[in-house]
Amino acid sequence: MKFTQFAATLWHLLGIAGDPPAAAPRAVVPSGGPGPPAPPGSMRRRYDDLVAEMKRTYGVRVRKWRTSTSGCAWVVQYHDGTISRLIEAPYPRGPMSCAIFLHEIGHHAIGFNTHRLRCLEEYDVWQWALAAMRVRKLNVTPAVQKRMDEAIRYAVRKALRRGLKSLPQQLVPYS
């Protein structure tokens, strides 16, 4: 069997006359990002407003919206003296992702190297994040509280493993 003509598209192969219909335009949304505008008064709108407020207030840029429930915050200082405040975090869609997002913002709100101990910084940042949720009447669930407890417990154990001699009083319950 010999083919003398090549079908350019499936549309042509099926023998349908004319050009295929144009695909409907799709909105391009970054993975894990905010998505299309939310209706007023919805939880998604509250989360969208929270993200905008935090980015504006603390001058933070989101490098990447993570799909996992993990985050990272850092500062880059350039040779000309300019500073970039960056985070990676999940986009707030519920209490847990909101708490993690606010935790990463909290590193910038409290300030890096403000505390001598990293475990104390983690404690204060988690306290700040949960307080920010409560002030805005966002639900702090038992799962969020447990995540905070486990994260602080991990930071304390790490500090003790690395030779911390004296644990600050507020961290004693996590040892």
Residues of the chain short of pLDDT 70, as ranges, are 1-32
Predicted pLDDT at 29: 46
In 10 A of CB 71, how many CB atoms? Answer: 20
What amino acid is encoded at 74 in this protein?
W
Predicted pLDDT at 146: 97
In 10 A of CB 110, how many CB atoms? Answer: 14
Please give the torsion angle defined by the CA atoms of residues 66, 68, 72 and 77, in that order, rounded to the nearest 10 degrees.
-20
Predicted pLDDT at 23: 59
Predicted pLDDT at 44: 94
CA–CA gap between residue 157 and residue 161 (Å, rounded): 6
CA–CA gap between residue 21 and residue 121 (Å, rounded): 57
Length of the chain: 175
